Amino acid sequence: MSDGSYRYGPALRRHISGHLDGFARLSRAGQDLKRAAVAITVVDDGSGGGAFLLTRRASHLRSHAGQMALPGGRLDDGEAEVEAALRELAEEVGLIVAADDVLGLLDDYPTRSGYLITPVVVWAGTNAELKPNPDEVAELYRIPLTELDRPDSPELLEIPESDRPVIRLPFGDNKLHAPSAAVVYQFREIGLHGRATRVDHFEQPVWAWR
């Protein structure tokens, strides 16, 4: 949006979907990785601005407990990426949307922990009712889209274990780490600004390699 306000409504939906329609995503089907999908869900921030949903994973989960993440998970047998993202969105935060609320897909992103993630960009519609599942979600956040345009974002770090830069995104006093940070950054570049940007060269922190 020209003024950077990202007001939530039909104009923002057209803005994002138009950019995604014109983007030639990279699909990595056929790699020997477990398939997963995440939902980048655009919602009202509660004050008329656009936001996206992030969760903090419940502390008792077996993997990545307590970490900030996008709603998502592994594909069930025979399930397509969009189906999995919408199912996980309903299971984790109680938001039910239709297939025609999918605005587009971003590049498949391979993780160090053995997954191939397909990011699915979703429009939440008006009056979205969110009911986080306490078995999976400790906290649910609506992150204003304006946070993605902070002058200190993204942060790129060097680590001795890799020659690739580690990416993370600041939100208030929190940091979102890769792989979520990588796909959200690509959403910023393509969905919000129409800049064809690849992110598979971004590294993940070493603790996320397991």
- Per the DSSP assignment, residues forming a β-bridge with 37 are 73, 118
Q: In this structure, which amino acid lies at residue 29?
A: A
Per-residue pLDDT of the chain (210 residues; tens, 9 = 90+): 655 689 999 999 999 999 999 999 999 876 689 999 999 999 999 999 999 999 987 755 556 556 888 999 999 999 999 999 999 999 999 999 999 999 999 999 999 999 999 999 999 998 888 999 888 899 999 999 999 999 999 999 999 999 999 999 999 888 999 999 999 999 999 999 999 999 999 999 998 887
> What 3-state class would DSSP assign to 98?
coil
pTM value > 0.85: yes
What are the residue boundaries of the structural domains of the chain, listed by start?
10-150
Single out the residue of 31, 33, 35 nearest to residue 79, CA to CA. Answer: 35
- Per the DSSP assignment, residues forming a β-bridge with 155 are 168
What's the count of helices (H) and strands (E) in the chain, helices before strands? 3, 11
For residues 36 and 30, what is the distance between their CA atoms, to the nearest angstrom? Answer: 13
Q: Which two tokens stand for residue 196?
A: 């064809």
Torsion of CA 94, 210, 181, 57, to 10 degrees: 30
For residues 151 and 153, what is the distance between their CA atoms, to the nearest angstrom? Answer: 6
10-150 CATH: 3.90.79.10
